[in-house]
Chain A
């Protein structure tokens, strides 16, 4: 009886707990392909970057956590270093129209110029399709995909959740660390971390 109950409960669990509504991308698995339009109206797909390491960065220009990493120059420096190393850096904005952080193409370009950001492209994901596909929860929220299309890192930009730029001093920069390890053929030592920041402002 006890055993039956246990297996019954397990079966019940399997049946009654659907997969999370948010996407279940997983480190070590293929990163799902997507197509999105950038701030200049150009369409990009993940597939076109095969052979290159790709960073996805979720952005909301008005979020104070994003402000910590742009106001301090941390994000732009990582973008520039990534570009120098041949890494593709896609900044993604999934804020819906009318929500905080929503930008159109010109506003995105102005933000990039004003902050001195160096992404390969700034993707406008106003329908939240890419964000929900990847389960992006916060801004920032970071993903690193290797040249084979395998997701190698997902989580926070660094190890100290805060809005205080002073905390950058003692923080481990997880994306930078992952890129360094991938480029030297090593396993990523911290493949996931808790993403921290503002919630992504999806539409309903």
Chain B
């Protein structure tokens, strides 16, 4: 039994880095089929699974593994001032269903005047796949995904690849040792539900976000990322502890429009191995501050 799975590229896309005067054409090139991972420009990509088999009636944790060349990055769900989030379109056997990307907390990436939210080095973007209860043990299932991404250093290159992974359907499964550390990192960086209360109040060119509740991190090495664009500037906000509350002073996006009723946020504390991440959703209140409250 082949537990290692099989990933192959069906087609890839690259954009030619042309001399300055050349017509910037988006070229669709057919890349040869090859073994995993698929090496594209500045990024290696493959579809991996946390465990060695699919178990009927359970969720399997798959992931798109991204290996960035040094100094190159791809983007979070909100890419910040420029860039584009990685997008996945699944091609699954009947009865299988894919969840959305369980985005790990991003890194803040400075690019000259701009700020981006994304990933560097090696990461996995996890996605839960529901395996139908009537999947037949003893068989195999071929899971496919079309990934679209933008990989940037100073310059940017869009990429696209179709990835496949064939896994056995069995009554039980075991961890695939190759990917445990990678999935553990993604789990640790996945924002957990905080249950914090609060609000985001827009006043002039600023947005003041207050958060209160159990488990708020202490000051220090805090960062905050808005899930929606066009609400906050991407530049790093400032944090202030006011008693039990955490107050975040952010600049309002100069492209502020279509304000959502609630602003979804990811708050992080620490970096690297000690990174912790929470998600919160607060009502977005637009308008002048009341005379008293």
- Measured CB to CB, the residues of A under 8 A from B are 3, 5, 9, 13, 16-17, 19-22, 24, 26, 61-68, 70-71, 99-103, 107, 110-111, 114-115, 132, 135, 137-138, 154-155, 161-165, 190-202, 204
Minimum CB distance partner of B17 in chain A: A62
Least CB distance from A163 to B in Å reads 4
Q: Please judge, given known A-B contacts A64-B157, A162-B84, whether A17 and B23 are in contact too, CB under 8 Å.
A: no
The segment from B43-51, B173-181, B249-257 that touches chain A is: B249-257
- Measured CB to CB, the residues of B under 8 A from A are 15, 17-18, 20-26, 81-84, 111-114, 116, 148, 150, 152, 154-158, 205-206, 208, 229-230, 233, 235, 238, 240, 242, 247, 249, 251, 254-257, 292
User: Which one, A13, A161, A195, contacts B206 given CB within 8 A?
Assistant: A13
Q: Would you mind naming 8 contact pairs between A and B with Cβ atoms under 8 Å apart?
A: A9-B247, A13-B208, A24-B205, A67-B15, A67-B24, A100-B154, A163-B158, A193-B230
User: Which one, B18, B22, B26, B238, contacts A68 given CB within 8 A?
Assistant: B26
Least CB distance from B208 to A in Å reads 7
Q: Please judge, given known A-B contacts A64-B15, A100-B154, whether A193 and B255 are in contact too, CB under 8 Å.
A: yes
Contact A192–B26 (Cβ < 8 Å): no
Contact A155–B23 (Cβ < 8 Å): no
SS class, residues of chain B in contact with chain A: loop
User: Which one, B25, B112, B254, B256, contacts A199 given CB within 8 A?
Assistant: B112
Minimum CB distance partner of B160 in chain A: A164
A-B contact count (CB 8 A): 134
Q: Please judge, given known A-B contacts A100-B154, A100-B155, A163-B84, whether A137 and B20 are in contact too, CB under 8 Å.
A: no
User: Which one, B15, B238, B256, contacts A17 given CB within 8 A?
Assistant: B238
C-alpha gap A163/B160 in the complex (Å): 11
User: Which one, A3, A196, A198, contacts B152 given CB within 8 A?
Assistant: A198
Contact A135–B254 (Cβ < 8 Å): yes
Contact A64–B240 (Cβ < 8 Å): no
C-alpha gap A48/B83 in the complex (Å): 35
Minimum CB distance partner of A162 in chain B: B84
Q: List the B side residues contacting A196 at CB < 8 Å.
A: 82, 84
With A17-B238, A199-B111 given, name 11 new contacts (CB 8 A): A9-B247, A22-B113, A24-B254, A62-B20, A71-B23, A71-B25, A111-B23, A191-B257, A196-B82, A201-B154, A202-B112
Contact B254–A20 (Cβ < 8 Å): yes
Contact B24–A110 (Cβ < 8 Å): no
C-alpha gap A140/B208 in the complex (Å): 31
Least CB distance from A157 to B in Å reads 14
Minimum CB distance partner of A23 in chain B: B254
Q: List the A side residues contacting B249 at CB < 8 Å.
A: 13, 17
Q: List the B side residues contacting A63 at CB < 8 Å.
A: 24, 155-156
Closest 4 A/B residue pairs (Cβ)? A67-B24, A163-B158, A110-B21, A199-B82
Q: Please judge, given known A-B contacts A17-B251, A198-B82, A202-B113, whether A70 and B23 are in contact too, CB under 8 Å.
A: yes
User: Which one, A64, A103, A115, A190, contacts B26 given CB within 8 A?
Assistant: A64
Q: Please judge, given known A-B contacts A9-B247, A163-B84, whether A64 and B235 are in contact too, CB under 8 Å.
A: no
Q: List the A side residues contacting B230 at CB < 8 Å.
A: 192-194
User: Which one, A16, A114, A137, A198, contacts B155 given CB within 8 A?
Assistant: A198
Contact A199–B114 (Cβ < 8 Å): yes
C-alpha gap A71/B233 in the complex (Å): 31
Q: List the B side residues contacting A163 at CB < 8 Å.
A: 15, 26, 84, 150, 158
